[in-house]
């Protein structure tokens, strides 16, 4: 009934999405100089057809894949925010936790893969360097050759402090090690008129370059070279990923809210917030390798919809606070709050319907009744029973919850889900009349931090 009463808003938002798809224009989204700025994320899955990309960009990704496979020993992807979070999702789904402990054969010739630059943490960065140096030592001793490391530096703006400070530290240390050969790949804004710092460095040093297309904000870039360079280096199925996103895009073209997953999700979440005061969204996938998806979504929701002013400049302070959770882990920590705490949350579940290599819990201690009782059940089924029980318990106490169900955890369904979520925040931006494509609040601390760093340098 709430959705039916919402009729006009749905139509208007859908019209705005059609205009965005066709022209890249979304009302009220302006550049810093007050000019309309394009929003082109919905074109990214059509990488082969352009106009944003082209068959050549796909070919370049294939070339990258071939050039790292059976040649590069380790890749370090350096980036933060939108230049990291989506990449981590692709990595986790494809590689899992133990990728770097596997042999090259088990990795199908693909290199070890590390992330850096998503913090300015000296301990972690030192550990990474030490680890790479240890690997280089072993390679030299056993195979009498140097260790090849590729640093993929990803920054749309081209000068983000977190990314660049890590890059300089890691680059410097590895370059000084005679057992390591370092190569650099840059992923940045391709604009040649006003090149980013990273672009200029890539030109000066002759580093291979990939592009973050204009009109695609950081948190929407997983379908561009930002995410796809990672995909290429780990053997992730790029074609299937983009096909999933395109199929979801088709589904989201329907003007019937009951058939358009992004519009329906956005409408339900908006109503939950505005009518029922559910101002927190807990993103709770069931499956360890989906936790990073929850973290990716946190950025998408927080930066897109957490806005003080609407498009006319009225103060609205809109946006649910996103929370990362993981089932079943956080049923043992957060669920008490979800079940009985303030009535201010929507718990959003994600489940995987069919697990590859599901495991049956064996009857190893038949004499222990409690353990014998759970034997014979697969872990995947037990996980789903836990999730359903959580959902039923929440629903029985007026606690809002919802479910996204992935038939399988693979590139195609991941493409569908990530694209649907991106489209959903675009719809919700229209419902709430806020610009879902800027992030003015992120600038506030940056204005303070720049001079503070200069002060610090002057003192040293
Ligand atoms: O969504 C965003 O715009 C941000 O999270 C950026 O992705 C993040 O700040 C990294 O920026 P850049 O890619 O310019 O280094």
Asked about 303 being catalytic, the answer comes back as yes
Gap from CA of 227 to ligand 1 centroid (Å): 13
The pLDDT of residue 57? 84
* Number of C-beta neighbours around residue 294 at 10 A: 20
Ligand 1 pocket residue status of 294, Cβ below 6 Å: no
CA distance 325 to 291: 7
**Structure confidence at residue 35 (pLDDT):** 84
* Residue 296, preceding peptide bond in cis (omega within 30° of 0): no
ipTM over 0.90: yes
Residues of the chain with confidence (pLDDT) below 50: none
Contact assessment for residue 68 and residue 232, using Cβ atoms and an 8 Å cutoff: yes
The residue whose CB lies within 8 Å of the most ligand 1 atoms, and thus the one to mutate among 86, 120, 213, 218, is: 218
At 146 the pLDDT is: 98
**Which residue's alpha carbon is nearest to atom 2 within ligand 1?**
218
Q: What confidence tens digit (pLDDT) does each residue in 137-174 have?
A: 999 999 999 999 999 999 999 999 999 999 999 999 99
Would you state the pLDDT for residue 48? Answer: 62
Q: What is the pLDDT of residue 143?
A: 96
Q: What six digits make up the tokens of 411?
A: 């590139």
What pLDDT, on a 0 to 100 scale, did the predictor assign at position 123?
Answer: 98
Residue 53 has what pLDDT? 58
Closest ligand 1 atom to Cα of 439: 3
Q: What is the DSSP secondary-structure string of 288-320?
A: GGGHHHHHHHHHHHHHHH-EEE-TTS-EEEE-P
The predicted structure's pLDDT at residue 43: 92
Angle, vertex CA 263, rays to CA 81 and CA 17, nearest 5: 75
pLDDT, position 52: 56
The pLDDT score that the predictor gives to residue 235 is 97
Of residues 1, 2, 31, the one with CA closest to residue 275? 2
């Amino acid at each position: 009934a709430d959705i039916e009463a919402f009729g006009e808003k749905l139509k208007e938002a859908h019209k705005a999405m059609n205009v965005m798809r066709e022209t890249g224009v979304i009302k009220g989204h302006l550049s810093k100089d007050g000019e309309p700025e394009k929003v082109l994320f919905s074109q990214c899955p059509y990488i082969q057809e352009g106009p944003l990309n082209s068959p050549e960009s796909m070919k370049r990704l294939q070339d990258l894949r071939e050039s790292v496979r059976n040649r590069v020993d380790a890749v370090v992807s350096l980036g933060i925010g939108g230049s990291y979070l989506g990449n981590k999702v692709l990595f986790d789904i494809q590689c899992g936790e133990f990728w770097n402990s596997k042999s090259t054969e088990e990795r199908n010739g693909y290199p070890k893969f590390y992330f850096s630059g998503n913090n300015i943490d000296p301990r972690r960065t030192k550990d990474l360097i030490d680890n790479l140096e240890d690997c280089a030592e072993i390679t030299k001793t056993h195979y009498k050759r140097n260790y090849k490391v590729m640093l993929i530096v990803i920054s749309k703006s081209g000068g983000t402090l977190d990314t660049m400070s890590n890059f300089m530290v890691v680059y410097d240390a590895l370059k000084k090690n005679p057992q390591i050969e370092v190569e650099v790949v840059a992923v940045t804004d391709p604009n040649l008129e006003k090149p980013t710092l990273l672009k200029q460095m890539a030109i000066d040093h002759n580093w291979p370059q990939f592009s973050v297309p204009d009109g695609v904000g950081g948190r929407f870039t997983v379908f561009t070279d930002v995410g796809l360079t990672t995909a290429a280096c780990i053997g992730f199925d790029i074609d299937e990923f983009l096909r999933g996103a395109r199929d979801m895009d088709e589904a989201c073209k329907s003007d019937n809210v009951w058939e358009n997953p992004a519009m329906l999700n956005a409408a339900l979440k908006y109503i939950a917030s505005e009518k029922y005061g559910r101002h927190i969204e807990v993103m709770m996938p069931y499956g360890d390798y989906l936790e990073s998806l929850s973290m990716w979504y946190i950025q998408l929701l927080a930066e897109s919809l957490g806005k003080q002013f609407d498009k006319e400049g009225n103060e609205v302070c809109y946006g649910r606070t996103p929370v990362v959770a993981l089932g079943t882990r956080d049923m043992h920590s957060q669920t008490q709050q979800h079940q009985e705490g303030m009535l201010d949350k929507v718990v959003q579940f994600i489940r995987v319907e069919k697990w590859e290599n599901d495991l049956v819990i064996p009857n190893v201690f038949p004499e222990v009744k409690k353990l014998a009782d759970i034997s014979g059940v697969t872990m995947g089924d037990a996980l789903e029973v836990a999730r359903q029980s959580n959902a039923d318990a929440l629903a029985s106490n007026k606690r809002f919850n919802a479910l996204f169900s992935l038939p399988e955890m693979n590139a195609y369904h991941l493409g569908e889900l990530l694209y649907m979520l991106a489209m959903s925040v675009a719809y919700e931006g229209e419902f709430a009349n806020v610009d879902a494509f800027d992030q003015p609040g992120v600038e506030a601390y940056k204005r303070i931090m720049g001079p503070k760093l200069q002060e610090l340098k002057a003192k040293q």
